[in-house]
Amino acid sequence: MQETKLKYKKGIIALSVIIPLAVAALFQLKIPGVDLSFLPPIYASINGLTAILLVIAVTAIRKGKRKLHERLMKTNIILSSLFLLMYVAYHITSDTTHYGGTGFMKGFYQSILASHILLSIIIIPMVLITYVRALSEQFDRHKKLARITYPIWLYVAVTGVMVYVMISPYYVY
């Protein structure tokens, strides 16, 4: 049991460090000649779907529907992984799009974007630890962390859609 916990802990730490570093490094890489400009609305939609499914999953567990909750949360992890793959693929094949608004809206956009990025890094280990606690049937510890993880994950998903909606007029196709 202790060996399994240590294995999960090492994996969570590795993923929590590797994913943000890899994303940052890949932003420096550009693959010319590949057009993935169709991806932003898809990965924004994935964020929206994740937000909806998170709310449904929490509602399900509150109603005692554990199996439905489990399936929805696994789906959310898969969706978040797909989002990450598409997001990286788009950004290594496309120039960075800058927000073109001014004044209050520019400041609002930048604050939403900054909080979204910071919390998207923080949420990685939180989701993984919460998930492992459920897998290992540590439901009291799972529930305690899930109460913190859920609103942060929901915020990241919702602000992902907001960032897309606000920057989409400035995409060059």
pLDDT at site 1: 55
For 11-57, the pLDDT digits (tens) are: 888 888 988 888 888 878 889 899 999 999 999 999 999 999 999 99
Contact 100, 166 (CB under 8 A): no
Alpha-carbon torsion, ordered 47, 144, 112, 46, to 10 deg:
0
pLDDT at site 160: 97
For 128-171, the pLDDT digits (tens) are: 999 999 999 999 999 999 999 999 999 999 999 999 999 999 98
CB atoms within 10 A of CB 160: 25
Helix (H, G, I), strand (E, B) or coil at 91: helix
Q: What is the DSSP letter of 169?
A: G
List of domains in the chain: 2-27+36-170 (1.20.120.80)
Q: Is the pLDDT of residue 6 over 60?
A: yes
Nearest to 76 by CA among 40, 112, 8, 84: 84
pLDDT at site 95: 86
Q: Is the pLDDT of residue 3 over 70?
A: no
CB atoms within 10 A of CB 140: 7
DSSP secondary structure, 132-143, as one string? HHHHTT-HHHHH
Cα–Cα distance, 15 to 5 (Å, whole number): 15
For 62-113, the pLDDT digits (tens) are: 999 999 999 999 999 999 999 999 999 999 999 889 999 999 999 999 999 9
Instruction: Judge if pTM exceeds 0.95.
Output: no
